[in-house]
Amino acid sequence: MRASPPFRFRLIRLGPCLALALIAAACAPVTQAPHVDPESAKAEAEKQRLLVVERYVADLRRLNAIAFRIFAANADFCREKGKSAGAFGFKVGNAYSFPKDFEAGARRVVGGRGLVRIVAVAPGSPAGRAGMREGDAVLALDGTPAPKGENEAATRDFGKQLAEQVKTGNPIVFRVQRENEEVEFALHPVAACAYGYGIDPKEIVNASADGKSVQITSGMMRFAETDEELATVVGHELAHNLMGHIDSKRGNIALGFLVDLLFAGFGVNTGGVFSDMAGQSYSQEFETEADYVGLYLMARAGYDIAGSPNFWRRMGVRNPGSIRTNHAASHPSAPYRFVSLDKTVEEIERKKAAGLPLRPEMKAEPVPAAAPAGN
């Protein structure tokens, strides 16, 4: 029997009241927790945002010290690839380089007033040797006022201005505001790999390279316990860029896409399966090569490479799934990478002991077949 329209109408009207009654009758906590003043919680939120900024800046300073050292030590490799440029060893930013919720904390950590400030200075870099300090506000470059403004664009514009000044090949005079005085430095750039590097604030343990820069996640910064471990990661990602792996993968995907188009011409929708398959081609081999070349880049920067293989042993413990060999995976297994790096350490140490150049071994070119003897 169907309910009459008036009865259904009464149920619809009573529905919200019944729901509220059920919620009121639900089980509730039985202890008397302390009352939390909303203003106190708001103040604590600001404190936690401040701590987030402090941690990010500390991570950036650690990464800058390690990445600059590796990038500068391997400028000759990058020059061979046409990817070297002048570098000073500092990172800049302002309070508006952070999400809006974090601006108040950033003004306390980085500095306010819309000035572009030195956030990180690598030890032994041109900036470090000249006496530049973290917190210095850049006022001018060679007498030309530096960009400023209460927005993130100021730091981007400063980067463009600096890039133009570097092209002159002359030392650049920085005028900075330091507390209540103005200070000038003449900085001579050194050659370094012309790739960017920075912190990705995600908490996953990961790092990436895109052919233009290297990004290390906050999670990876935490996982890499020592500077040597972090140098292992930076060297690996730089090797991806240096060896052209990203361009190779894009080329493979393009070939796979052509096969997808060929099938589409016959009315078959492949769903991009050949693009995906081609994108995975040689993926594990690229990762192994990046491990191999990256360790050379790290050793050339003077880092102790003896403990680098242990990074992958710890990764296997953290992520047991990586212990299992999976031929369809994009990365080799953690045990494979440990053994491969261990052998690379032995190879590099033999070369160091023999006084040989630290350059990765390349595959031998095929020897052309001899021409048949003439009659």
Q: Give the domains, in start order, of the chain with CATH numbers.
A: 43-194 (2.30.42.10), 197-354 (no CATH)
47 bridge partner residues: none
- State mean pLDDT over 12-33: 69
In whole numbers, what is the pLDDT of the chain averaged over residues? Answer: 83
Residue 6: its pLDDT value, please?
Answer: 59
User: How does pLDDT run across 62-111, given as a tens digit for each residue?
Assistant: 999 999 999 999 999 999 989 999 999 999 988 888 888 888 888 888 88
pLDDT at 17 over 90: no
Residue 60: its pLDDT value, please?
Answer: 95
Give the separation between CA 333 and CA 328, rounded to whole angstroms.
Answer: 11
User: How does pLDDT run across 278-309, given as a tens digit for each residue?
Assistant: 445 446 888 999 999 999 999 999 999 999 99
Are the C-beta atoms of residues 119 and 96 closer than 8 Å to each other? Answer: no
Residue 249: its pLDDT value, please?
Answer: 53
pLDDT at 270 over 80: no
User: How does pLDDT run across 304-354, given as a tens digit for each residue?
Assistant: 999 999 999 998 988 888 877 775 566 788 899 999 999 999 999 999 999
3-class secondary structure, 210: coil
84 bridge partner residues: 193
Please name which of 84, 86, 189, 170 lies closest in space to residue 132, comparing C-alpha atoms: 189
pLDDT at 258 over 60: no
Residue 94: its pLDDT value, please?
Answer: 87
Residue 324: its pLDDT value, please?
Answer: 78
Q: What percent of the chain has pLDDT over 70?
A: 79
Single pTM value for the model: 0.82
3-class secondary structure, 304: coil
Exposed/middle/buried for residue 31 (C-beta within 10 Å: 0-12, 13-18, 19+): exposed
Range in 78-87, 173-182, 247-256, 357-366 with the lowest mean pLDDT:
247-256
- State mean pLDDT over 186-212: 94
Q: What percent of the chain has pLDDT over 90?
A: 56
Give the separation between CA 11 and CA 155, rounded to whole angstroms.
Answer: 61
Rg over CA atoms, the chain: 28
Give residues with Cβ within 8 angstroms of 238, minimum separation 6. Answer: 70, 71, 74, 193, 195, 209, 214, 294, 297
CB atoms within 10 A of CB 306: 12
- State mean pLDDT over 52-68: 95
Q: Angle of helix 227-242 relative to helix 308-318, nearest 10 degrees? A: 100
Are the C-beta atoms of residues 110 and 93 closer than 8 Å to each other? Answer: yes
Give the separation between CA 293 and CA 282, rounded to whole angstroms.
Answer: 16
| Side-chain half-sphere exposure of 237, counting CA atoms within 13 A | 26
- State mean pLDDT over 145-169: 87
Residue 365: its pLDDT value, please?
Answer: 54
Are the C-beta atoms of residues 88 and 127 closer than 8 Å to each other? Answer: yes
